[in-house]
Amino acid sequence: MSGQLVRSLLIALATALVAVPLGYFVAPWLGWGVFCLGLGLQLLFHFRNFARLDRWSRHPVVDASLEGEGEWDGVFGRLYRHEKELRQQIAQREQEIAMLIAAGQALTDGVVLLDLEHHILFCNRTAEAQLGLKIEVDRGQSIVNLVRQPEFARYLSDNDFSRPLSLRPERYRERVYAIHVIPYAGSRRLMQIKDVTQEDRLDQTRRDFVANVSHELRTPLTVLAGFLETLQEIELDTEERQRYLQMMSDQAGRMQSIVQDLLTLSSIESAPPPEDEVVDMSRLLDKLRRDAEALSGGRHTVELEIDGKADLLGAEPELVSAFGNLVTNAIRYTPPGGRVRILWNRTPLGAEFAVEDTGPGIDAKHIPRLTERFYRVDRGRSRDSGGTGLGLAIVKHSLGRHQAQLDIRSEVGKGSRFAARFPLHRVIAQG
């Protein structure tokens, strides 16, 4: 600005140099007139540039046409550069913030940022869906007023975030969220909401499983212990002693079956699938029929029907176990005089192994749960026939490892049909 001042003074001086001789030698009014005109023009020049600056400062746009005149051009140039840099910095910051928000949105966990009074500063889309929030409307609201569950409010007010809060949201009762609160930047809180529904279900299944196994083993163990006590305390004749020993052996056998089925199930679940081999189906089906007849002891009609010769690609022991379970169930649950059919068909989509019986059938409400571990329609009947309640769970897992589907159709009083459907890539056609 000092350059501008010097320039103005020089112009004023130049005007005076012209005005003074004119006033002295020609006429005073002419001198004053020239002097005033000179100063007026200067004033006008500054006023014009000042007005332009004033207009611009009200709506500062980065515009290359922002030019001043004379020394004012330097001022306008510096302002232009400053404004441009400022805008570039703001754009860069905005881009960084947008990236941070995008990262927050990309998280699969819900994220809510809160201030010390639990007012919402930000939340991502996952959190919106989880808690039923809408950030445009709910920004600045207290989260406790929006998630109206006492345990949630208590968790926030207690201010002890060493352990996460397990919350079943009001809107989705079947879901479970683990809520972690992490204090940051002094008074702010970052709330992370993890959907742990799956883990919770697995946990529950594991707990139920342990309880079921204990229960299943406890019953025969209690009976065994009781017989042992009787044998120790009471003198029995040989026949009675034999009867007791037989009952003890039955209970031990039952425990053995449960443990064996548990081991089979755990190996199918945890071990990687064994190498595929070509399973000779006609040999396997023939063995299944012979086993069924042996188990039936002549009390049932056992039929084997093969439609279209085909072998399977898979793990033979697992397939034997799956098919064997279906055939054994049919014999065990079908009353004497009934009929059991073992069927092996080529289908347009692959092949189907099925077992049909004329047994008691199963009510439709039980069918979706039959493959759960230890699920039985009739506990007593299952136990009496030597069932462990794990057979169909083993079937389901074995078939799953062969990409096969288990299809169960049944009608109470008429009989059941259990079918394993194999996809085309598992089937090797024989001619």
CB of 305 to ligand ADP, least distance (A): 17
Backbone angles phi, psi at 412, to 5 degrees: -60, 130
Quote the least distance from Cβ 221 to ligand ADP, whole Å. 19
Nearer CB in complex with ligand ADP: 165/354: 354
Answer yes or no: are the C-beta atoms of 116 and 187 closer than 8 Å. Answer: yes
Q: How far is the C-alpha of 113 from the C-alpha of 123, rounded, in Å?
A: 6
Residue 301 beta carbon to ligand ADP: minimum distance, rounded to whole angstroms? 15
Q: Smallest distance, Å, CB 256 to ligand ADP?
A: 14
Give whichever of 19 and 362 is closer to ligand ADP, judged by the CB atom: 362
Dmax over Cα atoms in the chain, in whole Å?
163
| 298 vs 380, beta carbon nearer ligand ADP | 380
Compute the 3-state secondary structure of the chain and give helix, strand, coil in percent, each to the nearest 5.
55, 20, 25
Our CB check for ligand ADP shows the closer of 23 and 359 to be 359
d(CA 357, CA 339): 6
- Checking phi first, is residue 341 left (phi over 0); if not, alpha (psi -120 to 50) or beta? beta
Closest contact distance (angstroms) between CB of 357 and ligand ADP is 5
Residue 412 and residue 420: Cα distance in Å, rounded?
21
What tokens appear for 292 in the block?
Answer: 């069924």
Is the distance from CB of 416 to CB of 361 less than 8 angstroms? Answer: yes
Residue 417 C-beta: closest distance to ligand ADP, Å: 9
Residue ranges that bind ligand ADP, judged by CB under 6 A: 325, 329-330, 333, 357, 359-360, 362, 370, 375-378, 382, 387-393, 416
Smaller CB distance to ligand ADP: residue 124 or 382? 382
Least gap, CB of 333 to ligand ADP (angstroms): 4
Interior angle at CA 329, CA 326 and CA 335, nearest 5: 140
Nearer to ligand ADP, 38 or 391 (CB): 391
List residues bridging with 49 in a β-sheet: none
CB of 307 vs ligand ADP, minimal distance in Å: 21
In the bound state with ligand ADP, the residue whose beta carbon lies nearer, of 101 and 263, is 263
Nearest to 176 by CA among 167, 184, 186, 185: 167
Question: Phi, psi (5° rounding) for residue 23?
Answer: -70, -35
Cα–Cα distance measured from residue 356 to residue 330, given in angstroms and rounded to the nearest whole number: 7
DSSP per residue over 62-76, as a string?
Answer: --TT---STTHHHHH
Minimum CB–partner distance for residue 282 and ligand ADP (Å): 24
User: Rounded distance, CA 179 to CA 114, Å?
Assistant: 14
Dist CA 347 CA 344 (whole Å): 10
CA angle, 323 then 299 then 388, to 5°: 45
Q: Which amino acid would we find at residue 191?
A: M
Q: Which is nearer to ligand ADP, 80 or 418 (CB)?
A: 418
Our CB check for ligand ADP shows the closer of 362 and 427 to be 362
Q: How far is the CB of 420 from ligand ADP (least distance, A)?
A: 13
Q: How far apart are CA 13 and CA 5, in angstroms?
A: 12
Query: Which one, 350 or 360, has the nearer CB to ligand ADP?
Result: 360
> Of 111 and 362, which has the nearer Cβ to ligand ADP?
362
- Rounded least distance, CB 406 to ligand ADP, Å: 11
Q: Which residues pair with residue 195 across a beta bridge?
A: 177
Q: Are 5 and 75 in contact (CB under 8 A)?
A: no
How many DSSP H helices and E strands does the chain contain? 13, 13
